[in-house]
Amino acid sequence: MNVAVLRRLAAAGLALGLAACVPMPGPAVYGPGQASRAQSVEFGVVESVRDVRIAGYQTGAGAVSGAMVGSIAGSYVGGSWNANAVASIIGAILGGVVGSAMEEGVNARPGVEITIRLESGALVAVVQQPEEPAFRPGDRVRVLSDGVMTRVTR
């Protein structure tokens, strides 16, 4: 491989690595847009807790990186300029799809679905990252909501 190819591969790897460093809000982590913002608070009792998987987010870095790597790899297929161009396009498409799926898989994380009977009698379910100690049926909890994001705390 020549130096240009190695540089592109390194750039693709760096973009994918940086995308994995994006912090995700959890039960005890507030995003910048949530700080200094009023939240409604309701009290209730946990009815049930179920393990779930929270799908990963996609920044586009995986698709772009995969497309770059696929295009470069495809450009080495075949013996003629036309064959290399077609293989490069196909490699970019397949690489983008694979890169996107890989990014989402890397960012997926475990979660819990907490069903709560509020004091008002309403039943709500909130999905969030697990918290230690784990919520259990019968626990008295607070449900915080700013109208966009909701979380369960002790």
pLDDT at site 20: 47
The number of beta carbons lying within 10 Å of the beta carbon of residue 88 is 19
Query: What is the value of pTM for the model shown?
Result: 0.59
74-117 pLDDT tens trace = 788 767 888 778 888 888 888 888 877 777 667 788 999 999 99
Domain range annotation of the chain? 1-26+57-107, 38-55+110-154
Class of domain 38-55+110-154: mainly beta
Rounded distance between C-alpha atoms, residue 45 and residue 94, angstroms: 48
Indicate whether 143 pLDDT > 80.
Answer: yes
pLDDT at site 11: 52
38-84 pLDDT tens trace = 889 999 999 999 999 988 767 788 778 888 888 888 788 767 888 77
